[in-house]
Chains A and B, each alone.
Chain A
């Protein structure tokens, strides 16, 4: 039996943390490549395009560009990302915590942090990939003029949506692992779609406000918006919106990691 500790001594904890997190990410991504998940991903890619195709058929003269963009925005960075994260982030973390795998991850150095952040990255990668493909397909099916800049914009919105909302769903997953999915749907409805549309300080901490504001800014729609609609967007520049999403994601993730690190899971037979 050799001494593993001297072997590891020269490896800094920072690099171990990164490799642990990437190990969990790879591990979760491999688990996501199941037949059911791939079928779900296929549906996620096809669904927005199918809706756009159906709508386009009703307008023989061709879809108005702004209307098409609004619909694709609602279908992809909002709906597909939200659903994708709900089926990846919440069940993955909750399963790990409740079904016993977490024990084996938690007894590794930095295991809990790696479990959460690694799973989060896997959920963001999986959801972003599905959503970007869905956005590209929907844009082409809608027959929008100048599709490539639009696809580029939607890619950024998709990644921001996945980063922000993945972190948002991390919290219910660690606080209520047994009800993670239900709690996350509640969080999505209350935080993102109720608080996010209240024109007050509370909506500043929502991803939906930031994404809407970016969309309006990048599409140059601000002047066309009626006054009451302008209350639902933040007029600050794009870098502020992007920084706000990253800050929100970081704060939520740190909170979830801290909760997980301090959380204890006693055996049910001994309480």
Chain B
């Protein structure tokens, strides 16, 4: 459902130098599968997800959503994809229903289908209590749920989420991840990037760890955790760092200067 093959994306920085944000990343997400895309800031996660969302053009390589190539058939890719970012970008003055209606129209959904779809999403995502309230009055967790509803308005078979729990508290994050579980059980392919490793340790079917724009580890939780006590330990090992920061006084990794 989601395929990335040997994806390369270079940027030209303001000083004229070339930045290799993504340098040969390959990954795949099957229907009914949730894959965690892990990496430090600047590792290339957001660039990879934005290429899938047709927001960026790849320098080389292939990215497909629902079999549609993001470069040759971006409209097809967009029709198959729901995209959720860390910044919800939901306008404060509009209600969840109004936002869903506007975005449903962007997909050309007929009025009857749109009403049905909004009702379904309000029920499924637990928006009933605040669906008609301006989103400016909602908590960050509720706003992120509205953002998810907006991403699902056209019933996409694939969902890409870029650090969706970043601004959420523990309860909000738990609720959102539960929703993702149920979306996976409906057969949707989910690709999720996050820094909160503990939240997804027992949730994802597979993990892909990227560092410096390259895939440095990939596998099922059992494969990734085989030699490590936790996902965090496996992550640090994959990116070549220790769990304990170097130079913190009293810690084993502290450096002593003469």
Q: Which residues of A contact B (CB under 8 A)?
A: 1-5, 7-8, 11, 13, 15-16, 19-20, 22-24, 26-27, 30-31, 33-34, 99-111, 114, 264-267, 269-271
List of A residues within 8 angstroms of B155 by Cβ: 1-4
Answer whether A265 and B89 are a contact pair too, CB < 8 Å, given A108-B107, A110-B75: no
The docked-state distance in angstroms from the alpha carbon of A11 to that of B90 is 27
Is B56 in contact with A109, judged by CB distance below 8 angstroms? no
Interface stretch (choices B41-49, B198-206, B219-227, B235-243): B41-49
Inter-chain pairs besides A4-B154, A31-B94, A106-B55, 6 sampled, C-beta below 8 Å: A24-B102, A100-B85, A101-B90, A264-B56, A264-B57, A270-B11
Asked if B194 lies at the interface with its beta carbon under 8 angstroms from chain A, I say no
List of A residues within 8 angstroms of B157 by Cβ: 1
In this complex, the interface size class of chain B, counting residues with CB under 8 Å from chain A, is 35 or more
| Residue of A2, A13, A15, A271 ringed by the most chain B CB atoms within 10 A | A271
Is B21 in contact with A271, judged by CB distance below 8 angstroms? yes
Is B54 in contact with A19, judged by CB distance below 8 angstroms? no
List of B residues within 8 angstroms of A109 by Cβ: 75, 78-79, 106-108
Q: Give B1-42 as 1s and 0s: 1 = Cβ < 8 Å from A's Cβ atoms.
A: 000000000010100000101000000000000000000011
Q: Which residues of B contact A (CB under 8 A)?
A: 11, 13, 19, 21, 41-44, 46-47, 50, 53-57, 75, 78-81, 83, 85, 87-91, 93-94, 98, 102-103, 105-110, 113, 147, 150-151, 154-157, 186-188
Interface residue SS majority, chain A:
helix
Is B11 in contact with A266, judged by CB distance below 8 angstroms? yes
Is A105 in contact with B106, judged by CB distance below 8 angstroms? yes
Q: Of the candidates B21, B83, B109, which one forms a contact with A107 in the assembled complex, judged by CB atoms under 8 Å apart?
A: B83
Is A107 in contact with B79, judged by CB distance below 8 angstroms? no
Residue of B nearest to A118 (CB): B106
List of A residues within 8 angstroms of B53 by Cβ: 103, 106-107
Is A15 in contact with B108, judged by CB distance below 8 angstroms? yes
Is A107 in contact with B105, judged by CB distance below 8 angstroms? no
The docked-state distance in angstroms from the alpha carbon of A24 to that of B104 is 11
A30 to chain B, nearest CB (A): 6
List of A residues within 8 angstroms of B13 by Cβ: 271
List of B residues within 8 angstroms of A3 by Cβ: 155
The docked-state distance in angstroms from the alpha carbon of A19 to that of B170 is 39
The docked-state distance in angstroms from the alpha carbon of A103 to that of B151 is 11
Is B93 in contact with A104, judged by CB distance below 8 angstroms? no
List of A residues within 8 angstroms of B87 by Cβ: 99-100, 103
List of B residues within 8 angstroms of A106 by Cβ: 53-55
Q: Of the candidates B46, B88, B93, which one forms a contact with A267 in the assembled complex, judged by CB atoms under 8 Å apart?
A: B46
The docked-state distance in angstroms from the alpha carbon of A22 to that of B111 is 14
Is A7 in contact with B113, judged by CB distance below 8 angstroms? yes
List of B residues within 8 angstroms of A103 by Cβ: 53, 55, 83, 85, 87, 89
The docked-state distance in angstroms from the alpha carbon of A16 to that of B78 is 14
Is B47 in contact with A270, judged by CB distance below 8 angstroms? yes
The docked-state distance in angstroms from the alpha carbon of A2 to that of B106 is 19
Residue of A nearest to B154 (CB): A4
Answer whether A1 and B186 are a contact pair too, CB < 8 Å, given A104-B103, A111-B78, A114-B106: yes
A61 to chain B, nearest CB (A): 49
Q: Of the candidates B42, B57, B103, which one forms a contact with A108 in the assembled complex, judged by CB atoms under 8 Å apart?
A: B103
B47 to chain A, nearest CB (A): 5
List of A residues within 8 angstroms of B21 by Cβ: 266, 270-271
List of A residues within 8 angstroms of B105 by Cβ: 19-20, 22-23, 26
Is B78 in contact with A101, judged by CB distance below 8 angstroms? no
B5 to chain A, nearest CB (A): 20
